[in-house]
Structure 1
Amino acid sequence: MGGIDFTDCRRIFGKAYNGANGKKIAVEYNGDAYMLKFPPSAEKKPTALSYTNSCFSEHIASTIFQMLGICAQETLLGTFQISGKTKIVCACKDFTEDGKILYDFCSIKNTVIDSEHGGTGTELSDIMESLEKQQFVNPEKLKEHFWDMFIVDTLLGNFDRHNGNWGFLIDNKRQSAETAPVFDCGSCLLPQADENIMNTILRDEDELNARIFHFPTSAIHEHGRKIRYYDFLMKGEHTECMDALLRILPRVDIEKLKAFIAGVPYLSSLQREFYQTYIEARLEKILLPAYKKIHC
């Protein structure tokens, strides 16, 4: 299936989006509001950390979350013509319909008034305490969501799941709250990797292993240090995390995930091979060993 040309879609003014990587505008497509995420502008100095693949990362990661049974934003890949250039964009469907308001976990964490740290703090013990004490949604269900998200982020190599890019939908009219769909997945799947880096990783097992066992790390800290996914899961010290692994891993059908990637528009053959290889390697080298250890 090919992508969509969003160039002539009606712009929706009055909506603004934060976030570090790339410009964002709101448009209407098929009667629904979408946020278009553009790839960041090229740096003046050549750099491997260009995030030029962040739109692909966003779409592939969000769709894989959905394929694994976790509610995530709906995304589409398409193009947008600007200043005579064609940009590949990721369109993210607006899930704040019917007057619902998105509050990120950073905001909710700040409502836990006896917490020792502010909303941006990502120390795991502090996050767990805040999940327990927040009064918006059921704490047990919220912890399940947090750990399910952590396991899928492990599979996808997300290095930036901080407190500002997951959260809640608040309905003030109904005085109700629910967990928001997973969103902002552009930091999955090594978005900085250009074709040279992809080639190197595919050709060199040591380079691949470095990007599995050593980095990217999680944005969450434990004892003041960013969590390394492999080390953390193999220790198996957090029962609720291991319960999430037991829930999520049986849902991972790697052939279905690879077939999905094969049909993603705009990807080069190198990019398809890279994403398929990288996800399969993280499954086999991180999630499966941790899963098997539970059953030993």
Structure 2
Amino acid sequence: MMLEILHDFSMFPLRVSRYDGAAGKQTMYIGDQRYMVKFGYTVDEQQQRSSRTSYANIPVNEFLGSRIFQASGIPTQEVMLGTYGEHSVAACRDFMQQYPSSYQLLHFKQLEISMPGESSLSKARPDWEFVRHVMTDSPYLSTLRSQVFDRYYKMVCVDALIGNYDRHSNNWGFIADSDTNIVALAPVYDCGSCLAPHLSEDAMRDRLADPRLMRQANMDAPYMSMNVRNKRRKFNYFLLSDEGKPFRAQLINLHDCLTPQVLDEIVMSVPGISDIRRDFYRTTLHTRREVVWKPAFELALQEREHTLKQSEPLRSPTRRHKKHIR
């Protein structure tokens, strides 16, 4: 995979944001194509820590996370990396533009609050039990229920690989028509909170110099943006849990899609980053594949083998065996 172009978007006027969310966003048109532009931002001094930088390069992480999702085979937003003036930006093509203007993006959160008598169970950090209940029982998902489960299982697995700590109910969803009938799953979007976006280059250098620190840091963090049994869990814990069984089953295919070679090619294609960052992203992905994915992948293989053995029909005794039976 070749090094991609670092675009200069400064010539294109910005417009007021059409998009929600916490990060800085504006609308931009290139010709007749609409983009959501995400900006890096300065971290408030009170929120800075010794291991953090004063500038969060969310655009690079948005680009990397989206490229890795694309390589997994999951439909994902198109992202270009570039600059706007002195700012690092990610230009995310607005996938809603391909639909009639009356169509809309519905976040999963909107399904949660549409459950009769259960809207109070919808939280900023969702509970897996409630998420599963909504996906199972929401009447608005009747035409694509199996696709929703399949997408969610895979999405969480890829988030585990890239360390995305912010996949809550407001950043994945569906395409709805003018009557708010859900007609399709939306592409994956909002991947910027992955691969430790606030970490300073000094902290990256420390992890690269100490493999044990790199390994421990990726086992300890991040936590998922989801509660399981009323507690926020680490990805490696969740994927090995009973609740994680249908998720880790997806690793059998994803493991072959996102090989170390594929991940290296994606990282090497990122334009405009330092060698330290490039090495950090590569090593982090290799480490997370080893300490987060691998144990769950091996357990999934064992479970599949056990299921296959249980499903094998009992063989009728051969003539030779019948002789011994007599």
2:5 match: secondary structure: coil
Choose from 215, 220, 226 the match for 1:209: 215
1:101 counterpart = 2:101? no
Q: Root-mean-square deviation (CA), in Å?
A: 1.9
Structure 1 equivalent of residue 28 of structure 2: 27
Mapped partners of 2:179, 2:130: distance in 1:
31
Identity %: 27
1:122 touches 1:162 (CA, 8 Å); kept in 2? Answer: yes
Rg (Cα) greater in structure: 2
Q: Residue 147 in 1 paired to residue 153 in 2? A: yes
Shift of 1:69: 0.3
Structure 1 residues 142 and 258, CA gap change in structure 2 (3 angstroms): same
1:269 aligned onto 2:275: yes
What are the ranges of 5 or more consecutive residues in structure 1 without an aligned counterpart? none
State the partner residue of 1:135. Answer: 139
Partner of 2:67: 63
For residue 11 of structure 1, the aligned residue among 1, 10, 14 is 14
Query: What is the alpha-carbon distance in structure 2 between the residues aligned to residue 43 and residue 273 of structure 1?
Result: 27
Q: Which residue of 1 aligns with 2:39?
A: 38
Amino acid in structure 2 at the alignment position of 1:243: A
Mean CA deviation greater in 211-220 or 201-210: 201-210
1:1-296, aligned counterparts within 5 Å? 1-13=4-16, 15-21=17-23, 23-44=24-45, 47=49, 48=52, 50=54, 52-81=56-85, 86-97=86-97, 98-99=100-101, 100-115=103-118, 117-118=121-122, 120-137=124-141, 138-172=144-178, 175-296=181-302
Which SS does the other structure have where 2:96 is aligned? coil
- The secondary structure found in structure 1 opposite 2:95 is coil
Counterpart contact for 2:79–2:92, Cα < 8 Å:
yes
Please state which structure has a larger fraction of its residues in helix.
2
Quick one: which amino acid aligns to residue 6 of structure 1?
F
Tell me the matched-pair count: 290
Tell me if structure 1 keeps the 8 A contact 2:72–2:257.
yes
| Aligned mates of 1:141, 1:59 — CA distance in 2 | 25
Please say which of residues 117-126 and 138-147 is displaced more in the overlay.
117-126
Partner of 2:320: none
CA offsets per residue over residues 263-284 of structure 1, 9 Å max, x none?
2111100111000110011111
SS of the counterpart of 2:56? coil
CA contact 1:108–1:119 (8 Å) conserved in 2: no
C-alpha contact 1:53 1:193 (8 A) present in aligned 2: no
Whole-angstrom distance in 2 between the partners of 1:196 and 1:259: 24
Task: Letter of the 2:106 partner, please give it.
Answer: Y
How far did residue 141 of structure 1 move?
A: 1.3
Q: Structure 1's 121 and 268: CA in aligned 2 closer, same or farther, altered over 3 A?
A: closer
Q: What are the Cα deviations for residues 245-270 of structure 1, in whole angstroms up to 9, with x where unaligned?
A: 22322211221221121121111001
Q: Which runs of 5+ in 2 are unaligned?
A: 303-326
Shift of 1:75: 0.3
Q: TM-score, normalised by structure 2?
A: 0.83
- The aligned amino acid for 2:183 is A
- Structure 2 CA distance, aligned partners of 1:237 and 1:219? 15
Do the aligned partners of residues 131 and 196 (structure 1) sit closer, same or farther apart at CA in structure 2, a change above 3 Å counting?
A: same
CA distance in 2, matches of 1:57, 1:236: 31
Pairwise CA distance, 1:294: 2.5
Structure 1 CA distance for aligned equivalents of residues 225 and 241 of structure 2: 18
* Alignment-mate amino acid for residue 25 of structure 1: Q
Structure 1 Cα separation of the partners of residues 160 and 54 of structure 2? 22
Shift of 1:173: 6.2
TM-score by length of 1: 0.91
